[in-house]
Amino acid sequence: MRFEGPAAVAARREELARKDPDVRTLRVCGGPGCLASGSRELLAALKEAAVASGLDPAKRRISFTGCLGLCERGPLLELDPEGHFLRGVAPSDAAEVVGTALGEGKLVPRLSPNPESPEKESLEFYGPQKRLIMRRFGKIDPESFDDYLATGGYEALVISLFESGPAETLRRVAESGLRGRGGGGFPAGLKWKAMTGAKGTPRYVLANGDEGDPGAFMNRSLMEGDPLAVVEGLTIGAFALGAERGIIYVRNEYPLSVARLEKAIAGARARGLLGENILGTDFSFDLSVTEGGGAFVCGESTALMASIEGREGTPRVKYVRSTEAGLWDKPTVLQNVETWANVPLIAANGPEWFKGIGAKGNPGTKVFSLAGETRNTGLVELPLGTKVGVLVNVVGGGVRKGRRFKAIQSGGPSGGCLPESALELPLDFDHLTEAGAMMGSGGIIVMDDLSCPVDVARYFTGFLAEESCGKCVPCREALPVLREVLSDLTRGSGRKGDTDFLEKQAGLLKETALCGLGQSAANPVLSTIRHFREEYLEHESGYCRSGRCRGLYVPVIDPGACRACGSCQKVCPAGAVGGKKKEKRTVAAGKCVGCGACLKACAFFAIRAERKEHVG
């Protein structure tokens, strides 16, 4: 069923809109979090229940949809068109959900987080969000081409091809101020303009879906939740840039992303939206998926290209830009999949509309994965420039009861750690970089008072040392040195002057490493020292105030604050907490193994991590 022109696309979209006015769909979250909490089993149970209850499968549909965001409460469900949002749904709930929700369109109150107002938008988690990139998550079956078309898909390509033309399309993207969502925030327009002046064919557009940050899943959710948005974005980009070929690079740990993208590409190709003479024009463009082996460094642009070319994934010195000589030494524009997914929005709605969202110099939204010690965690999309505090305290619902906010780690392993003052910081490329962190691909980890910045730096530096490709001397040799010193500090074998040494070495690493990853690999050390130097110095002398580094503190119970609840005693594996029922507890320092369980268990801030020397 090939579309020969724009009229055929519009006609099909209308047809889809006309059909089935009273169809109801139960959309089961198929995001990574809900898949992990059992949404695949839930989907099967729901389908079984629907068959058993004899509902008409054409009018009462059940399908997977993209990530609904509130991963922590999964598996999640949304009822379309009612918009009812259900959480924590188990396969044992299937019969009731099918009967009440799918069959009658009614709410199942016990599964709703807010029965008064059952749409998810009424929850504080969703309140400040603006779901643009995620707008189809919950609304479509990501494997259905028709669903994509019916929700405005390919309107933007038609506008670009038949109204704007390449120059105007490029102008729109350039004027919109769109910045690269993969981490650096480089203006997409500058990259695109640089490619137009470059000579050589074929020309390539590439999408980076390699997402290697531990805990990050925004790119994955996009590729799995709305794969055609990436495909359409690349097609529009290719049209504006005169590219003939496109490749989406996805790590092979994301088999579902690969499958969904391949299905999307096949669907677009079958309809004449990829391949020769797209929509009857003389514009031809085709797209494929290349699977990466999962090395962190292959998210770096030149390493990614080397990997596509079949060589080992190591970066090259970038004094010649990829827009001049990229993949196979041909002009290439590489952008993150989220950047590409913004392109249809801009191509259709224009730059002024886009600039109206977000902050000055940082237009649009950004998808973040919120993890760590907040009450709500999950996938979040916010207008750029939203205060960090809104993300942590409103969307995230603040840190858990009895704990104090300490820091955020932003931008993945090579991002940075920011202290409490960061709550006032606008979440955008420039402010984060200025504060010593970075946007990265959008991973945000919230830490409370039990997290130790030295230990956090040790963890991330260790990760980066493992993932360093080893090509250049500074990254290969200095990261293990940093890791060694950080390990010493967290084990109590740190030396006086280690903090200054670390700062110096990390600074030199930043200046001398070959690629962006090597340069930013110094960030965990540099940013934690910048904001938490005092704690580093305490570690030099064998003290960890956070009660995180084993052996570097002794828990002391403040009798004034202890409510004699006994939680600490229950969790202590060493029997070091003494005291009878309804009595205030004490810790026998000699028995304590330094696991920190009591600190976590106390809801009244009654236990402090004290210096060993101070405790008799």
Which spans in 437-592 are helix H? 453-467, 473, 479-491, 498-512, 516-520, 523-540, 567-571
Judged by DSSP in three states, 318 sits in coil
309 binds other proteins (CB under 8 A): no
Closer Cβ to other proteins, 514 or 568, answer by number: 514
470 binds other proteins (CB under 8 A): yes
By CB under 8 A, name the one of 36, 317, 588, 603 that touches other proteins: 317
Cβ of residue 458: shortest distance to other proteins, in angstroms? 16
Two tokens, residue 169: 């399309």
218 binds other proteins (CB under 8 A): no
Two tokens, residue 364: 């649009």
CA angle 408/409/415 to nearest 5° reads: 145
Question: Which one, of 460, 296, 451, lies nearest residue 372 by Cα?
Answer: 451
Closer Cβ to other proteins, 344 or 518, answer by number: 518
312 binds other proteins (CB under 8 A): yes
By CB under 8 A, name the one of 42, 427, 465, 554 that touches other proteins: 465
Cβ of residue 330: shortest distance to other proteins, in angstroms? 19
By CB under 8 A, name the one of 158, 287, 295, 391 that touches other proteins: 295
Two tokens, residue 260: 């969904």
Closer Cβ to other proteins, 481 or 571, answer by number: 481
Cβ of residue 476: shortest distance to other proteins, in angstroms? 6
Q: Which stretch binds other proteins (CB under 8 A): 102-110, 180-188, 198-206, 478-486?
A: 478-486
477 binds other proteins (CB under 8 A): yes
Pairing of strands 586-587, 577-578: antiparallel
**DSSP β-bridge partners for residue 119:** 84
Closer Cβ to other proteins, 197 or 319, answer by number: 319
Q: Which stretch binds other proteins (CB under 8 A): 42-50, 75-83, 406-414, 473-481?
A: 473-481
616 binds other proteins (CB under 8 A): no
Two tokens, residue 215: 């805990």
Judged by DSSP in three states, 534 sits in helix
Q: Determine whether 116 is exposed, middle or buried from the number of CB atoms within 10 Å of its CB (0-12, 13-18, 19+).
A: exposed
Q: Which stretch binds other proteins (CB under 8 A): 179-187, 316-324, 346-354, 393-401?
A: 316-324
227-241 helix and 255-270 helix, angle to the nearest 10 degrees: 60
Question: Which one, of 120, 579, 96, 165, lies nearest residue 379 by Cα?
Answer: 120
Cβ of residue 489: shortest distance to other proteins, in angstroms? 13
472 binds other proteins (CB under 8 A): yes
The pattern of x and - marking residues 408 through 437 that bind other proteins according to CB under 8 A reads ------------------------------
The pattern of x and - marking residues 251 through 290 that bind other proteins according to CB under 8 A reads ----------------------------------------
20 binds other proteins (CB under 8 A): no
Closer Cβ to other proteins, 472 or 607, answer by number: 472
Q: Which stretch binds other proteins (CB under 8 A): 243-251, 324-332, 434-442, 470-478?
A: 470-478
Cβ of residue 163: shortest distance to other proteins, in angstroms? 39
Cβ of residue 319: shortest distance to other proteins, in angstroms? 6
328 binds other proteins (CB under 8 A): no
By CB under 8 A, name the one of 300, 467, 535, 538 that touches other proteins: 467
Task: Centre a 10 Å sphere on the Cβ of residue 586 and count the other Cβ atoms it contains.
Answer: 17
Closer Cβ to other proteins, 505 or 523, answer by number: 505
| R_g of the chain, CA atoms, integer Å | 26
Cβ of residue 528: shortest distance to other proteins, in angstroms? 21
535 binds other proteins (CB under 8 A): no
Asked if 271 contacts 1 with a C-beta cutoff of 8 angstroms, the reply is yes
Asked if 394 contacts 124 with a C-beta cutoff of 8 angstroms, the reply is yes
Closer Cβ to other proteins, 184 or 361, answer by number: 184
Give how far Cα 385 sits from Cα of 127, 364, 393, 473, Å: 16, 9, 16, 37
Query: How many binding residues for other proteins (CB under 8 A)?
Result: 28
Cβ of residue 291: shortest distance to other proteins, in angstroms? 18
* CA 491 – CA 609 distance, rounded (Å): 15
Two tokens, residue 97: 């959900």
Which spans in 58-187 are helix H? 94-96, 104, 145-150, 155-159, 165-176
Q: Which stretch binds other proteins (CB under 8 A): 404-412, 475-483, 558-566, 578-586?
A: 475-483
Positions 440 through 459 that interact with other proteins (CB under 8 A): none
227-241 helix and 218-225 helix, angle to the nearest 10 degrees: 90
Cβ of residue 472: shortest distance to other proteins, in angstroms? 5
498-512 helix and 523-540 helix, angle to the nearest 10 degrees: 170
Strand intervals (E) in 238-376:
245-251, 286-292, 332-336, 358-359, 362-363, 365-372
Question: Which one, of 584, 467, 586, 569, lies nearest residue 520 by Cα?
Answer: 467
Closer Cβ to other proteins, 394 or 481, answer by number: 481
The pattern of x and - marking residues 479 through 518 that bind other proteins according to CB under 8 A reads xxx--x--------------------x--x--xxxx----
Cβ of residue 524: shortest distance to other proteins, in angstroms? 16
Question: Which one, of 461, 457, 458, 386, lies nearest residue 422 by Cα?
Answer: 386
**Per-residue b/e over 307-333, b at no fewer than 16 CB within 10 Å?**
bbeeeebbbbeeeeebbbbbbeebbbb
User: Interface with other proteins by CB under 8 A: which residues?
Assistant: 295, 312, 316-317, 319, 465-474, 476-481, 484, 505, 508, 511-514
